[in-house]
Amino acid sequence: MTIPMKQMQQLDRGAGVLMPISALPSPYGIGTLGKESYRFADFLQSIGCIYWQVLPVGPTSFGDSPYQSFSAFAGNPYFIDLDILVTEGLLEKEEITRYSWQVSEDEIAYDRIYQYRFEVLKKAFERSHHRKTKEFQEFCKANAYWLDDYALYMAVKNHFDSHEWQLWDEDIRFRTQEAVDAYTSKLAEEIEYWKFVQFKFRQQWDAFRAYVNGKGIKIIGDIPLYVAEDSSDVWVHSELFEMDERKKPINVAGVPPDLFSENGQRWGNPLYRWDVMEQDDFTWWRERMKASAALYDVIRIDHFIGIVNYYSIPVTCPTAKIGEWKEGPGKKLTDAINESIGNAKIIAEDLGAVTAKVRRLMKITGYPGMKVLEFGLEGPADHEYLPHNYKHTNLVAYTGTHDNETLVGFLQDKLDKTLAFAYRYFNVKTKEELPYAIIRTLYSSIADVVIVQMQDFLELDNRARMNFPSTIGGNWKWRMKNSQYGELNIDRLKELAYLYARAPKE
């Protein structure tokens, strides 16, 4: 089988860091697209990295998970930098500093952000003269597929005290034309506010991306395969999802029980009606991927295996114990994706139930898959995630992901007899030596791309872990402190990049 040249292109050999925008230092409670994002790009350049991976940047909903967003297209209002709005004359400094944004420097207090951020952004909106500018008009035109629907969705959601759309009045829940017209008229100013918020996010993102790219660094974005039920996407395009005549989910997404989870994982996202999507040539997916390529240089598709075969759980089942595997669209969808992303590239998160069909699609597309070294730390020697067992270069190797323990956290409570294999494999004698030895080994591997969690460079324990899968509350809160830059051995990290040919070409 001949693979198109575009699909055969591999990622440049290099190293990068997994660092969410939310986790950047900031005096305003959460990381933003302001000066600290630029400083982090400078840091990446100083250690020879050419990739910066972020978590999804959509507006977060209940539980604060970036993987459960109000939109598959919109940006997170929390990431709009308030100091930039001050320089633009849209805010006064004291209007920002009057709020107590955080309890501690290294943890996000989402309740405070939710309470204060929109008040401040509303002040900026009221002073803005963006509406008649050519830049705003072009932004609205370029994002016409989703922007009006999202702005209306958010305005109506606020009208109904932030309740999910399933609890709205029936006429607007079902999007009758009369109701849509009535709410569009009634909430016109609120709708304009949400467009303004997205405009400002995109302005700041474009400037941020230009700076990062100017440093020779590519941004790896992350998109979940599925979308949240409480999203503008499902509300507007319910015919594309497995919903009944009352717009209630029939089956939901997840994965079955395994060695790590007795009940499996019931994510609860509505499943796609792939047959309906295929009938209009995957228009929604094409638009989604085009929008993602406008943000990122490389797009990591979370739960990629669901494109080939996905697990369907009846909505009435409270766990993932009952369900069945069904066939996904496979190459039909990846062809649509490739035609939609321009010069962007794809990483396939192929962790989980990797079948022969998944491997075949990976081979056809040429997408690099993933290896997580943490999974192989206890052996055996033929474990597929240990670097000496990598079969080819076209892959992305991680110390761990946002769903895993930090390296120090993983090692912390392990007995020496449990770590005996790791001591031998990485040629060290103590637990304290292992994190750096693990990172060094990953850098020396044949994998084209190596990604290290920032927490692992900092050698932080599980108090800095981003997420405990299948739990709600307490996740997505970690933030780096400004002082922690001083704890890093920049020269040692830079040496790794040059020693193992991962630094930018001179």
* Dihedral angle over CA of 93, 98, 99, 100, nearest 10: 110
Residue 325, CA distances (Å) to 134, 252, 258, 357 in order = 49, 12, 14, 13
The candidate with the shortest Cα–Cα distance to 438, out of 454, 417, 452, is: 452
> Which residues form the catalytic set?
302, 349, 403
Identify each DSSP E strand in 151-281 by its residue range. 218-223, 251-255, 265-270
Q: Any idea which residue has 């951020």 for tokens?
A: 117
| Interatomic CA distance for residues 84 and 86, integer angstroms | 5
Burial of 234 (0-12, 13-18, 19+ CB in 10 A): buried
Tokens of 64: 């604060």
Contact 16, 51 (CB under 8 A): yes
**Structure tokens that stand for 90 in this block:** 């849209």
Q: How far apart are CA 153 and CA 146, in angstroms?
A: 10
Q: 3-class DSSP state for residue 223?
A: strand
Instruction: Give 416-472 as a DSSP string.
Output: TTTSHHHHHHHT-SSGGGHHHHHHHHHHHSS-SEEEEEHHHHTT--GGG----TT--
What one-character DSSP code corresponds to residue 388?
G
Q: How far is CA 62 from CA 69, 111, 164, 228, in A?
A: 9, 11, 10, 10
Q: How buried is 384 (Cβ within 10 angstroms: 0-12 exposed, 13-18 middle, 19+ buried)? A: exposed
Q: Is 104 helix (H, G, I), strand (E, B) or coil?
A: strand
Task: Identify the CA nearest to 255 among candidates 362, 399, 354.
Answer: 354
Closest of 423, 401, 403 to residue 411, by C-alpha: 423
Report the alpha-carbon distance of residue 254 to residue 316 in Å, rounded: 13
N- to C-terminal Cα distance for the chain? 37
Q: Collect all residues with Cβ–Cβ distance below 8 Å to 279 and sequence separation of at least 6.
A: none
